[in-house]
Homo-oligomer: A and B are copies of this chain.
Amino acid sequence: MTTIASITMSLDGFVTGPDDRPGQGLGVGGERLHYWVFGGPWTYDGEHDFDAISGEDKAYYDVLIERIGAGIVGRGMYDAAGAWGGQNPFSGTLVVLTHRTADPHDESFTFVDELGEALRLAREAAGDKAVSIGGGADVIRRALAAGEVDELWLSIAPVVLGAGKPLFDGSLELDLEPLDVYQSRWATHVRHAVTR
C-alpha cells in the first residue's frame, strides 16, 4: 500500500499566497500555482475549465489519478475549496481530517478527527491502489513526520510568491529520491520516493 503526498508549491516553497480563504482558495496571487491545473491563466472570478489541462500537466495528473484509490485532505483545504461545491469531486473515498466531525457535510465525504484513523480508512478504501494526501501543507507535514508517506509528488510552479503558507516550516528533515519529472509552461512536476 503506497501513500502519496501530492501538492503544488511555488519556487519559494509556498502552497498558497497570502490571505487564502473560501472564494480565494490559493490566496493573493496564488492562482498562479494552479495555472497548470486549468491549462493556463485563470482568475478567482472567472469560470474554471476542468478540461483544459493538457500536455505534460495532463500526463502527470493522469498518472496520479490512475494510481490512487482514496484521498485525504485537511479541513482547511476542504473549506478553502468550498467543499468542491458540496460534493466529493473524486470517484473514490475522500476523507476529510477535521476536529469538527459533527459539522454538516455531504455523505460523499468522510469526516474523521485523527490522522491515523484517516489513513486507516483511506487505505482500507483504496484496495490495491494508493492513498493520496492532497494537502494542506500541515496535513502533509504531519504525515511525513509520522513516516506515513512513501512518495512526495511536488508540482513546482514557476513563480516566487514571497509570502503565503509554506509547505515546509523547519520541522522536518528528509532524504528523497527523484523518480521522474514532467515539465510544462506552468509547472515542473517532480515525483520523489521518500527514502528517510
Residues of A within 8 A of B (CB): 11-13, 29, 32, 154, 156, 158-163, 167-168, 170-178, 180-181, 183-185, 187-188, 190, 192
Minimum distance in angstroms from A167 CB to a CB of chain B: 7
Are B32 and A167 in contact (CB-based, < 8 A)? no
Name the residue on B nearest A173 (C-beta). B162
A13 to B167, CA, bound (A): 10
How many copies make up the complex?
2
Give the nearest-CB partner of A10 in chain B: B168
Whether the Cβ atoms of B159 and A174 lie closer than 8 Å is yes
Measured in the bound complex, the distance between the Cα atoms of B178 and A183 in whole Å is 8
State A159–B11 Cα separation when bound (angstroms).
Answer: 15
Give the complex CA separation of A170 and B10 in angstroms: 12
Q: Is the CB of B161 within 8 A of A173?
A: yes
Q: With A11-B176, A13-B12 as known contacts, state yes or no: A190 contacts B160, CB within 8 Å.
A: no
